[in-house]
Amino acid sequence: MRMITFLLVGLIVHVVFFLSIFDIYFTSPLVHGMTPQATPLAPPSSRLVLVVADGLRADAFFKLLPNGSSRAPYLRSVIEEKGTWGVSHTRVPTESRPGHVALIAGFYEDVSAVAKGWKENPVEFDSVFNETRHTWCWGSPDILPMFAKGASGEHVYTHTYPAEEEDFASTDASRLDTWVFTQVKSFFHSAKSNASLRANLLKDENVFFLHLLGIDTNGHAHRPMSQEYLDNIGLVDTGVAELVSMVEDFFGHDGRTAYVFTSDHGMTNWGSHGAGHPSETLTPLVVWGAGVHNARKATGPQPYRDGFLQDWKLEHLQRTDVNQADIAPLMASLVGVPFPLNSVGVLPLLYLNNSEHFKAESMYTNAIQVLQQYKIKMTQKKETTLPFLFTPFELLTESKQSQFINKARILIQLEKYEDAIALCRSLIAHALEGLAYYHTYDRFFLGCSVVLGFVGWTSYVVLVILKTHANLNRNPSVLKQIPGYALVRLSLCVTAVITVFLLIQRSPVAYYVYCLLPVPVWYSVLKESGILTDLIRSAPSLPLWKCFAYFVLVSFGIELLVVSFFHRAILTLGLAVLSLWPFLSGLFSKAKFRSLSWCIGCLCLAAFPLMPVVGREPNIHLVTFAGVLSLLTSACYLWSARPRTTMHLSDRQQFVTQMLHVAVCAYVPSLTHSSLQQKQGLPLLNQIISWSTLASSMLVPLLSSTRLFQRLLSIFLSLTATYLLLSTGAEALFPPVLAWLMFVWINIEQEAMLAQGVSGRQELSTIDFSANIDLTKIRQLKLDDIRRSYFFVFFIITAFFGTGNIASINSFDPASVYCFLTVFNPFLMGGLMMWKVVIPFIIVMCTFETIQVATQLSSRSLFLIVLVISDLMALHFFFLVQDYGSWLDIGTSISHYVIVMSMTIFLMLLSVVTHVLTSQRLSLWRHKKHFP
């Protein structure tokens, strides 16, 4: 019972540490209560048409064909004759929702939105659409509803196709764009005979939004270099040309319509997006129509050193790059609506063809709108901080704010517009810097609380290990020397002081958790402090040099694992070093065949981290080969095990059935791939086989014998069948190679036990997972058990990063789930990809469970050492989290901490699952047997 309590407490503590990173780094930057700010002068346009080609890369759009023509001739003519163009720079994560939020609301999405699949609004926010008189939208059901939901009133109208249309296996995804253009044509046609609709259309401050998903869907399904993707660009170009002609005809060529064409994000060569590669973050921007500069010739060298101007044959035209959030204030300025309240974009004046007075007023409005957010953020922080502890942002105190505003207003009145614009830019820069300052105001305080809790918890686990699993010279009088009531009083006093402090500051509930958690943790540490005295008393009898050597090696090993998160090739180096273990430890002379098998297994597994993380072309033949390899290794084991173990007929029948099932699952990806290539869709039979395999993968092993290797083989065959269905290439070979190495590890640990002279060693072939544990044979921890625990953590990290499936956001290839579904569903697809990552985990966890049984250790003791190693890694990553540098660097540093913490929590839960998976048995055809 104590173990269950300890696990539950440990789980709660780690969940708190895990969630802390979201309160410290991922809290929403949005504030509310600002007043809408609009430019007081008349806008240049009455309406605006926004066209977003989802997933369109800048180079695919701008680059000319080999014959010198453009695949988007109409928009190319706009660039060269009547519009202003540039590159829009997006931010990580380069996904559809955050991209559209940046475009239309002007701020960079709070990362907590990922928990809602980028579909729902985690917090309410203002947008250009919300500020318009009317907005009509056509496109994807994943994007449009969030802007309608966030709008005040009923003036945002959405027209979407069914979600089932977003099918990666469709014959032609460009039909999604054709649907949008057809709907818009029907809309304007019906407006001619609908008096009330026509009256609404003729009013000012209207926006028409076309979301075109065909390019993105074709990119995922066929890659951005495919003919389908490139042809889709031509279709969009033709559609835009027809749209402009139709709109101009409808409004009588009044010259009051502005047009914006852009993309939410790009796409890598391998058809994914989400990270920070230039192919994902660089998107095209073309703006023309009312209030926009016509094409301008470049009068001198342009400030861009990326070589794109020459590649795209556009060096003769002025290029004007923007940040993606800058497009929102640009649209608001053109159509004359208030700037979105939460926008952090800076109005790109080079796009505007208007008077200097209008530009200065617009820039002033932009500055006031950003400054209002800063003021509210500052006020909120001031009200919840004790006066003597409050440190204001020096560059923008209340007096300096007034100086900026008054000076800017005077400069505009004196018609010194350029000076006013420069001052407003400076004010915006300071306000944005101040927003970040107050947003991260409590970060250091919370970070210290979490680190204090972390160190306390790790210290407590170490003390528990020493107390319950180590042979120390006990001194019974030590505990009596520490007055328990004094500790309780001290803990209560500290709790009271912290609580009062947080109450006075009106801190959020989460702050109480992070600040009070270290109190009971350190109370537990101090309560067990007598163990340190026991350790000191036992020091003369301990092999200190050996202890020190282990400490140095494990410390070096932990650093090696930390570095492997940044450079996966380090795992290859680590596996190469591990391959030498039998030779360095003297095991080679006692078990040559097993030592050589270990060495070869490590070196084979070492090849996987060297394979490319992303950008791999599907190779279905390797998937089939992996299936054949799994069958051969299973057959070889069954054949070699015949003399040593007797197998019931029912068990033999089950293994034959499972092996036939693996053979089928090795062939299904080939059939699916062939069907999709021929554009015949996903065969229903393949889908049924895939889902039934997934559903039964954790149940089938429970039907097999609980004898050690028989149960492990059943688990391997069941998980391999699912993994093959989720594979597209070389990664399918990973589970068979990993399983082989794990099999050798189990065997070689037996030899290590023999070399250490552990008595009562049991033959592996006779071990039954479901048998009662003989408590008299449970041994105490030895130094070598630290090595076993480290091996486990190393193999878990290798299982995590080995195939490169989770090393980056954009390494999630949708093609991996095509045997299960092809219709876009982010949660279902994400769940399947996560299960693919979990399968190697389970293989390693089952091996670890086996080693604990085989080496006569309680399941708790080795796991506690693993917990300490994982927590030390997590603490290391906590210190590496940064909020400066590129967005990719920030995201990577946070994701590493999240991965390690998730892994630690997950291992706690998975240890229970693997215990059930190895020791329990279901009986379907005979009377149920009870296993204690």
Q: How many CB atoms lie within 10 A of CB 733?
A: 21
Structure tokens at 177: 């764009």
Select from 810, 812, 856 the least CA-distant residue to 834. Answer: 812
The answer to whether 928 and 863 have CB atoms below 8 angstroms apart is no
The answer to whether 773 and 641 have CB atoms below 8 angstroms apart is no
Chain center to CA of 226? 27
The answer to whether 138 and 210 have CB atoms below 8 angstroms apart is yes
Q: How many CB atoms lie within 10 A of CB 5?
A: 9
Strand 282-289 relative to strand 257-262: parallel, antiparallel, unpaired? antiparallel
**How long, in residues, is the chain?**
932
Look at residue 485 in the predicted model and tell me its pLDDT: 81
The answer to whether 57 and 278 have CB atoms below 8 angstroms apart is no
What's the rounded Cα separation, in Å, for the pair 96 and 219? 14
Look at residue 579 in the predicted model and tell me its pLDDT: 93
Look at residue 604 in the predicted model and tell me its pLDDT: 93
Structure tokens at 827: 């949660």
Look at residue 545 in the predicted model and tell me its pLDDT: 74
Look at residue 773 in the predicted model and tell me its pLDDT: 58
Look at residue 927 in the predicted model and tell me its pLDDT: 42
The answer to whether 876 and 839 have CB atoms below 8 angstroms apart is no
What's the rounded Cα separation, in Å, for the pair 615 and 609? 14
Cβ-proximal residues to 367 (8 Å cutoff; 6+ apart), any chain:
404, 408, 424, 425, 427, 428, 431
DSSP symbol at 929: P
3-class SS of residue 445: helix
What's the rounded Cα separation, in Å, for the pair 719 and 839? 6
Mean pLDDT by 10 residues, the chain (932 residues): 74 86 77 92 97 96 94 97 96 82 86 48 76 95 78 81 74 90 97 95 96 93 91 97 97 97 92 82 97 93 91 95 97 96 95 96 97 94 86 92 95 96 96 92 89 92 80 53 74 94 88 92 86 73 74 86 85 92 86 91 91 70 93 85 71 88 94 87 91 92 86 92 90 92 90 69 72 61 82 89 53 78 81 87 89 77 83 87 60 75 79 82 56 36
Select from 453, 711, 749, 725 the least CA-distant residue to 594. Answer: 749
Look at residue 919 in the predicted model and tell me its pLDDT: 81
pTM recorded for the entire structure: 0.77
The position carrying tokens 């997950």 is 906
Per DSSP, what are the bridge partners of residue 107? Answer: none
